[in-house]
Amino acid sequence: MEDNKDFLTEETEGTTDNNTLYADTEEPLEKTSSSYADSFSGDDSFSEFDSEAGAAEESEFNAEYAPETDNAQPPKKKRTLQFTIIISAVIVLIVLCAAIACRLFFANGVVDTNLFGAQKTTTWHYRADASQLEATVDEAQIPDYYFIFEPDGKLKVDMGSFEYLGTYTIQNIEEQDVEGIEGGESKIGQPMLNIENSGIVDGKFLFDRSGNPFSGSTLKLTSLSSDLITLDLDSKEYTPVKLERSGEFHKDDKLVGSWSFKNEVASQTFVFNEDGTYDLKTNQGGAIYNQHGLYDCKDGVLTITVMAPDEQSQSLKYSIKDDKLSLTQIIEYMGQTFEQPLNDFTRDK
């Protein structure tokens, strides 16, 4: 009986461990309870529960529930998987930062590109060096030009109230581009900026970019035909000019609307708005430029005000008859006044 009591104690302890191990599993508890209940049914004798039967039953128990015990290990595998995901994310982030750094610090073209290599609108600012101009030129009279390059090859040059629309291409220099240019053979194969119909500066240029978006970028354009012709531009955001009216606005309802003129070489459209602003669109031999500003009407005189580069006004006599607008420019020179008839405009339907 002493041995049996010891065995009972040992089996009871084993049962407690199993119940603890499978506390969250109902099925193992039921199988364990019924298995041991069968062993203890009948009388109090333990002669029928020999060591071999106990070993066989324990072997069956372990075989049936061993997979459940092994499933206690997945948390370690999960942590390993999470660590792998974190490492992968860090690597992707490093590559992304490196790509951004390359775009920001190593840009060397006229037109900027985004992170994925697509071109985006890029603005360059140009202002002539006052030391290279005549001594009589006042600082306020030096215009600021903004070259706005669009991804589709369109170029817009803004200067005060004036906007010039041209085109540009970037290509490698070929033999015909340097024909007749001294030392031009050495430039073949280099990238070249070709500007056309800008209304400000046209031609073929070598370009050299330096700096970065944080400290500022510069772009030097050198004429392909002469190293002495250069333009130094810097990166600067463009803010459209906004004129402020100083006095009362005098409106002529007959003038409000759109008026157009066209002949063999040019076309123009004047648009006078209700709020006292106007737009003038001109196409002359393929060169397109726009003008915008303020207007005022009083006693048959049309006064238009623009920023070019400082604020300036121009007076014109006007008359309207049968949907036709006639304009005459008033010119004051050396104390005298001259009149110069301009084109007649027809009201747009």
Q: Walk me through the domains of the chain, giving residue ranges and CATH numbers.
A: 2-70 (no CATH), 122-235 (2.40.128), 257-347 (2.40.128.360)
Q: Judge contact between 234 and 213, C-beta under 8 A.
A: no
pLDDT of 230: 93
**Bridge pairing between strands 336-347 and 287-298:** unpaired
Distance between CA atoms of residues 223 and 194, nearest Å: 10
Distance between CA atoms of residues 241 and 74, nearest Å: 67
The span from the first CA to the last CA of the chain, in angstroms, equals: 121
The beta strands (E) that lie in the chain are given as: 122-127, 144-149, 154-159, 162-172, 191-196, 203-212, 216-223, 230-235, 257-262, 266-272, 277-284, 287-298, 301-307, 311-321, 324-333, 336-347
Q: Is the pLDDT reported for residue 48 higher than 50?
A: no
Q: Which residue has the higher pLDDT, 337 or 21?
A: 337
pLDDT of 87: 80
Mean pLDDT taken over the chain: 79
Q: Is the pLDDT reported for residue 106 higher than 70?
A: no
Distance between CA atoms of residues 219 and 154, nearest Å: 18
- By CB neighbour count within 10 A (0-12 exposed, 13-18 middle, 19+ buried), where does 341 fall? exposed
Dihedral over alpha carbons 21, 23, 24, 27 (to 10 degrees): 90
pLDDT digits (tens, 9 = 90+) for 243-278: 999 899 999 999 999 999 999 999 999 999 999 999
Q: Which residue has the higher pLDDT, 153 or 5?
A: 153
Distance between CA atoms of residues 304 and 294, nearest Å: 6
Q: Residue 222: pLDDT band by 50, 70, 90 thresholds?
A: very high
Q: Which amino acid is at 127?
A: R
Q: Whose structure tokens read 């005000």?
A: 305
Distance between CA atoms of residues 235 and 216, nearest Å: 6
Q: Is the peptide bond before 74 cis (omega within 30 degrees of 0)?
A: no
pLDDT of 89: 80
pLDDT digits (tens, 9 = 90+) for 189-221: 999 999 999 988 999 999 999 988 778 899 999
Q: Which amino acid is at 288?
A: I
